[in-house]
Every structure is written in C-alpha cells, then in structure tokens.
Structure 1
Amino acid sequence: MKSQLVKKAFIVSLSFIILVISAGSSLTNRVSASPSIQADTKQTLKVMYQNKSFFDVNQFKQQFPNVEIKEVGWDGKSDLKDFISKQSPDVIMLNTLDYKQLSKQNQLADLGQFIKRDHYDTASIYPGLLDALKVNGKLGGLTPIFETQSIFYNADLFKKYNVPLPKDGMTWEEILKLAAKFPTGGTKNTRIWGLQYPLDKYTYLINDIADAEGLARYNPNTLKATINTASWKKVYGTAITAIKSNAIEGSNVGGKSYSEDPFIMGRAAMKIDSSSIEYLRRVTADKKAIANYKPFTVKIAAGPADPKDRTTTRSLILFSIMAIPANSANQDLAWDFIKFYNGVDYAKFMSEQPLLYSLTRMDYSKEYNGINLGAFYKLKPNLETSRYLQPQGSPFNQIVYSNVLNREVKQVISNKKTLDKALVTIQTEVQKSLDDAVKKQKK
C-alpha cells in the first residue's frame, strides 16, 4: 500500500488528464477571465512541473485563448533552484518538501498580496490549509487537491457487538484498542475483524503510527539514526500488541476485487486507508453482482490524529502546490493561472467528474453517493513532516530500513527476541546504511 503512493500521483494525474479532455468544453463560460488578461493581447505563461500533474492546458486555454502555455518539465534530480533560475518559469508546481524549502529561502511570491488585492474568496478552502501552507507568515502557494487518511467503519457491526463508535480525532493507539474489542473467534474466512489493514509488511503500520506523531527515522543534520528511543519503542510496542491481538485482518487488498476486501464484504469493523477518496469510490461502487454481498451502513471518522494535538493530522499529502517564483516578471498572469485552478467554479466542474482525490474547495465536496465527506476536513493539516518525500541526495535507504524492521518485528512477535534488543539491531543497521551512503557520496 505505502510503496505504491509515489506511483499514485502519476496514475491519478494521467486519469485526471483523460477526464478533463473527455469533458470537452463543459467548463466554458463558468470561470470569468481576469481583468489583467487583455482580450486582444497575446501572452505567454511558462509553467514548470515534475510530472504533468493536476492541470490541463486545454481547459485553461478555453477560458484564456490568448494565453500560450509553455510547459517546462523538471526531472526531479537536477538542483531545483538552479533549474528555476535557468528556465525562469512563471508558475511552478511543487511537492510539500520543495515548497517548504523554497518558501524558507524567500524564493516564492507572497500570494497573500494578490488575495487581498483581488478580494479572492478563501472562505470555502479546507480550514487550516492556508495557515499550514504559510512559511514565516507568508502564503507561497495554493493547491486544488489533497489526499488524507480516514477511519472508515461499519456502523452495523459496532451496534451488533455493542462496541463504542469511532470518534473524530482518535489516535492510532485508540483505534487499535477499539479494534481489539471485537470477537476473535471463527475461521479466517468467516470471522469478524476489528480492523482491516495490510500487514504483509509491518513497516506500514509502524510508519503510520510514527508519522502521526511526527517521529523521524534519522536526524538530517547529524545523519544519526533516531530509532532506538523511548518514543519509537512505544510506537513499536503499540503496533506489536495490536498485531498479537489477532484483531487485524492483514491482507493487502489494494487493487484486488471487492469480494477479496473484508471491509467491503462486511467482515471488518474498520478500515484505515491513505487514499480516502479512492477507497470511498470502492466502498460505494455498485456491488449487486457480487455473491454474498450485503449492504451495510458506512460512516467515516476523521483520523488518525496527532496524539500531541488531536485537532491536527500529519497524514495529508499535497501532490502539486502551485506557486510563483519571487523573481517572475509575469506574476499577474501567473496568479490568474493559480486562481483558475483553485477557484470555486473549477471545483464545481471537478466535482461533476468521477472523484479521484479530495478537493480543497469544500463548496462542492460535501457528500458522495450519500456519504458525508465532512471527516476529510475536520482535522487541521500539519505539513511539517512527510515520510514519503526525502531531500535530494538523502542518505536514508528506505529498503534497508523496511527489511530490517520486518525481520526484527517478526522475531519479537514470535518471542525469539525482546523489543529492546530488536530496536538496538534496527538502530545499528540503519546507522550503518546511513554511514555507507555518506561515504559513497564523498567518493
């Protein structure tokens, strides 16, 4: 599941392009052209992206026919600041890590000045997102879409077994304890499970719990592994206790048929999914042709939350933050571009297409197939940490980390090793991997 998240942006963006092209000119006349774009004046806008994510030139040109879009692809490997300096794009599309770095270096224009000047309505944007995107008090970018984790639950099973319903803002520890309240008797294919979550790699669950708390695997300044600590020990202990409870159905159901998904088939009380909208589409799809399928009441709770602040979540993924380089000579036109893709009218247009991701504009993202989407917006986003993104040249080897983690956790679960000794081994091997990578970089 987690290993496919990097691929998701490409897959989703490709699907997005196909959808928008197939939609033809259905957006025509919905979005008013900006006064800064003169009807008879030909202008050029240079747009930089790593993957052509979440925008389509044809849709923009339908509204602004006199604007030529010049696309600039960044390979994601060359130095970003140097690339921007040489290419001089007017709009740049960034992931969270690159956005934060450029913002801290004052490389981005403050969109707050344009928002204030144009009285641009931001009231319907996901609460807390604008604040989360601000760096040193300045807003350098906007994004029309996001992805987040959510707690899907079968309200009928909770009622049947008299288990308290999930609440918004629950932590991972609370969710796992709640799952353990369900009975564990019966065969694998007939019993009820408290939670459906992939355990083919223990890295998934441990990383998710750690990420919710903002724990780092290593210190990027000292290049020292930080895993053998009290905080990490608690994370590992929580995960191992949950795995041993036999309350989790651990199949990796990503991409499998509906009939192979225990939650969809009504045999798991909860499901945590990183791609909430994508999973919502699976849950609400027509399943009349599936043998033994019985409809049930699906509800969604906001979470898992950061245990240090239950009003926030660190699970948010922003695929493409639209920003303007501070030295762009074409900032007004660049702002028109960003306004177009982050506006209310464009959100309405996208809400009429099959859902691919959550919209940051909430005006037309309130329900889907009868299910309320409010849970996606209840927790304030915290963008300070992101395991899915590593700085260029990072010496941290995710494969080494995942392999040693899975090996050692299996030892602990089978009572062949204590957790303390396992953490020492993980710390030692991850540190060796970091040291080897640094030596290789110096050659």
Structure 2
Amino acid sequence: MNKKFCLMGVALIFVNLLAGCQQSEKQQPITLTINYPSEKMFYERVGLAFEARYPHIKIKVIEKRQVEENDDSSLDIIFMRNLQEYEKISSLGYLSELTPYFTSSEQKEMNINEITTTMIRSKSDEKLFGLAPAFQSHVIYFNKSLFDTYKIPYPFDGMTWKELFNLAQLFPETDSQGERIYGYSTNYYEHIAFASFLRAGQTEGLAFIDPNTLELTINTNEWKAIGEYIIEAFRSGKILAAEEGSSDTFQHSPIITGRSAMELSGQTTAYNFDNVVQQYGMKPIQWGMVTVPVSSVDSSSSDYYQINEIYGLSLGSLHKDEAWKFIKFIVSDIEYYKKNQNTIMNYGIPANVELLAPITGQDLKPLFSLKPKKYYVNPYEKVHYDIVNGFKEYGQTLFEQVIHGDLTLDQAFEALESEGQLKVNQIKEQLENS
C-alpha cells in the first residue's frame, strides 16, 4: 500500500511539474508587430487595455497607413482601413485564412453580427481573412411631433427613395409660428439634388459610369424615372437643399433642432438628441428611426453599411495564436468594451450588436436589421474622386435648370451623357498630366 501511494505521489508531482512547464511556456514574453498610422492612437484605442489583459504580450507598432505590395516588413497583425484595402491585401496573399481560429464555437462565443463577416467575405471569394470590431450604419430619423401635428403617417422600415420623397412633400413649408421646416434633409453638403439622384440610382443597382472605360451610361429610362421624382421633390421646396457655406459657426443638424421631419444620418445622431438637450438646453425632440431606403426589388438588404477598420493575421507571423488573441480581444471582449464604451462608440456599432449602448424608449434595430448587400455599385470605390465629383458638379447645374424650368428633363439627360462625358474625359486627362 505504501509503495502504491508513493508511486501515486510521484505521478502527481510529475503532472504538476508538466503543467507548470506548459504554463511557463505559454507565458513566455512575446512581441507582436502591427502596422497602424499612429502608435499613440493605437495604444489609446486598444494597446494599453490588451497588454493589461495579457502582460506577457507586447505590441510593437510600425507607423504606416497601409501595407504595400512587396512590403518586406515583418508583421504579425495587419491593420486595414477599409474593405478596399482588405480586398487588395487579401488578393496579394499576405493574410492567413481565419477558419482554424474562427470556429463555430468561437463564433458563438464572440457573438459577431453577420453584417461584418458577410461584407468581408464578399471581397475575398467568400473566404475570411480578417475581422472588423465595428461597422458604420445609417438610418432615417424622424420627428414624431411634426408627423403628429400635420397628421402625416410615420415613415416605415423598407421604404424606397420614391416613397420617402413623396412623404416629405406632404409637409408645409412653414409651421404655425411661420418658421421654415422641411420634410427631409439629406447628409450631403454640396450638389444636394444631383447627389441624392445618384444615390437613389445606386440603391436600385444602377451604374452611371464604367469604372474601367469611364464611359457614361445615364440617359436611360431607369435613370430618368429616378430623376423625375427627385426633381419634383426638390422643386416643391420641401427638401432642404441649402449647401454648407464657409461660416465657422457651428449649427446643429435640422433633425436635432426640429426643422426637419426626416433626416438621413449615422448612428451617432441617435445619441445626440439627449446630449444637445443636456449641453445646450434645447427643446427635446420626440423622435424615432427606420431603416434607410431600399431597392424596389429587394427590401431586405442595404449597401449603406461601411467598415473602417479590419484586422487580419499575417501569413508570415510566427505568433499566430497570440495575434489571434489580439483580434479576438478588439472584436469581442465584453469587459474591454464596457470599460471603454464611450471611446469605442466613436468607431461605430460593435460587431457584437448586443454591446450597442441602449437608448431608453428607442428600438435601435433599424441600424442593423437589413442584410448587407454582397455586391453593389459604388463609384467612389473604383473611380477617382475628382472624376465623380466633377460629374456631380456638372449634373447639379443641369438639375437646377430643370427645377427652375429652363431645361426639360430629356434635354438635361442628353447633356448629362454627351457633355458629361466630355467633362469626365477632361478631368481624366488632367489627372494623367498632373
């Protein structure tokens, strides 16, 4: 019996020694490298919190905006600013597929909304090479009091752009005190009517320019039908069309001040209603929100979501397990999020939407209830900014002439395609020569 107990004791000692060795091995100091525009911003964003959680892991920040082709930097974690960068980096083969790490059990534990993973997969042949901790979203905010006062039915989830502009035109131009009000205000600050027209077409899946040839195709029945109701709405005077001037005076959003019945805006506006009441003593607004307008042929999805940061495992990393700990931390760590909620909200809606800060009396589901469109037309992703904006500027001048009765709709669209093409070609040539 004594011999048996002795052998058991020796075995227990061996097991404890083995476990101690394994624990010691796991806690060996590790340094992970990551590219990020600013070391200071990185540590404020997440670095300090992560190193506090994992004291044996240090992170070295290589200050660079993005990873370029043939970059020989030794990275463990690759930071990408948007889906366009992710698409490029993943196509170059610099990233490790996350399947071994992002298992079914991990997905369940991390509770990540499929909005981010769907958008990321759509840029890499449905494979997953990165995760995003947050996403940006837009909704239509509406002033319940204005709708009630004029007995106009509330907006609803899944409206089309045409339904929204028709609804906006039901409002008067002034309230009972003679103050100017609007049925709808956009999130554009210039070329407002024409920008709204192009955005409505984008929602319907229409493209006005070929990103490869820069050839315009806009003088079509589909585009004209959209132009007709957009011009009618802006001609009514019920849509806020004033462009932002050069004044340095801060002005609150029209939906916040009660001047607009509806407004397209991002998720931060939802938290500004109470903030302006507390900070500026403004009159509280009784408000609600519905989803952004959707396509007339697909009411379940939206192309308004945006991702501004993605993190992936470098294919050449020698510390993938530790790098995965970091990605998992920034994407889904509940304790980290709750301690830094105010700061983190600046980056968007958490990938785990259950961590979105609630607002008393408000249903925030319209911010994330629509599915993300996997494939959509966004001219800014493939065409130079100057070309798109130059075309917008020219289009705005034509729309203003139609609104004021100086051009017919048909004349405007003929000019858009013919003269607009000359404008595009001119800007292209300037860019090539600069």
Is the 8 Å Cα contact of residues 36 and 333 (structure 1) preserved in structure 2? no
Alignment partner of 1:226 out of 209, 217, 234 = 217
Is the 8 Å Cα contact of residues 138 and 304 (structure 2) preserved in structure 1? yes
**Cα deviation, residue 314, structure 1:** 0.6
Q: Mapping of 1:108-147 within 5 angstroms?
A: 108-116=95-103, 119-121=106-108, 124-134=111-121, 135-147=124-136
Q: Distance in 1 between matches of 2:385 and 2:120?
A: 27
The structure having more radius of gyration, on CA atoms, is 2
Q: 1:335 to 1:297 in 2, by over 3 A?
A: same
Q: 1:281 to 1:288 in 2, by over 3 A?
A: closer
Is the 8 Å Cα contact of residues 300 and 371 (structure 2) preserved in structure 1? yes
Q: 1:288 to 1:319 in 2, by over 3 A?
A: closer
**Cα deviation, residue 340, structure 1:** 0.7
Q: Distance in 2 between matches of 1:332 and 1:62?
A: 18
**Structure 2 residue 290 is matched with structure 1 residue 317:** no
**Structure 2 residue 56 is matched with structure 1 residue 66:** yes
Q: Mapping of 1:423-442 within 5 angstroms?
A: 423-436=413-426
Alignment partner of 2:79 out of 73, 93, 99 = 93
Q: Distance in 1 between matches of 2:110 and 2:29?
A: 33
Q: 1:48 to 1:269 in 2, by over 3 A?
A: same
Alignment partner of 1:347 out of 324, 337, 345 = 337
Residue identity matched to 2:96: A
Is the 8 Å Cα contact of residues 206 and 377 (structure 2) preserved in structure 1? no
Q: 1:437 to 1:402 in 2, by over 3 A?
A: closer
Structure 1, unpaired ranges of 5+ = 1-34
**Structure 2 residue 169 is matched with structure 1 residue 180:** yes
Q: Under a length normalisation based on structure 2, what TM-score does the superposition of the two structures give?
A: 0.80
Q: What is residue 285 of structure 2 aligned with on the other side?
A: 296
**Cα deviation, residue 360, structure 1:** 1.9
Q: Distance in 1 between matches of 2:146 and 2:68?
A: 50
Q: Distance in 1 between matches of 2:180 and 2:75?
A: 57
**Structure 2 residue 230 is matched with structure 1 residue 242:** no
Is the 8 Å Cα contact of residues 130 and 139 (structure 1) preserved in structure 2? yes
Partner of 2:277, secondary structure, is coil
**Structure 2 residue 33 is matched with structure 1 residue 46:** yes
Q: Distance in 1 between matches of 2:279 and 2:396?
A: 38
**Structure 2 residue 271 is matched with structure 1 residue 284:** no
**Structure 2 residue 70 is matched with structure 1 residue 82:** yes
**Cα deviation, residue 38, structure 1:** 5.4
Q: 1:328 to 1:354 in 2, by over 3 A?
A: closer
Q: Distance in 2 between matches of 1:209 and 1:194?
A: 17
Is the 8 Å Cα contact of residues 163 and 181 (structure 1) preserved in structure 2? yes
Q: Distance in 1 between matches of 2:156 and 2:166?
A: 13
Describe the superposition over 1:23-67 as per-residue Cα deviations: whole angstroms up to 9, x where unpaired.
xxxxxxxxxxxx999554222222123576794322222222332
Q: 1:245 to 1:437 in 2, by over 3 A?
A: closer
Is the 8 Å Cα contact of residues 196 and 251 (structure 1) preserved in structure 2? no
**Structure 2 residue 375 is matched with structure 1 residue 384:** yes
Q: What is residue 353 of structure 2 aligned with on the other side?
A: 362
Describe the superposition over 1:185-216 as per-residue Cα deviations: whole angstroms up to 9, x where unpaired.
56996144211235752243224323323433
Q: Distance in 2 between matches of 1:249 and 1:37?
A: 65
**Cα deviation, residue 326, structure 1:** 3.5
Is the 8 Å Cα contact of residues 379 and 388 (structure 2) preserved in structure 1? no
* RMSD, matched Cα: 3.4
Q: Distance in 2 between matches of 1:435 and 1:164?
A: 46
**Cα deviation, residue 105, structure 1:** 5.4
Q: 1:442 to 1:186 in 2, by over 3 A?
A: closer
Residue identity matched to 2:56: N
Q: Distance in 2 between matches of 1:192 and 1:440?
A: 42
- How many residue pairs end up in the alignment? 400
**Cα deviation, residue 302, structure 1:** 1.4
**Cα deviation, residue 364, structure 1:** 1.9
Structure 2, unpaired ranges of 5+ = 1-21
Q: Distance in 2 between matches of 1:338 and 1:169?
A: 34
Task: Please state which structure has a larger fraction of its residues in helix.
Answer: 2
State the identity as a percent.
24
Q: What is residue 211 of structure 1 aligned with on the other side?
A: 202
**Cα deviation, residue 118, structure 1:** 6.2
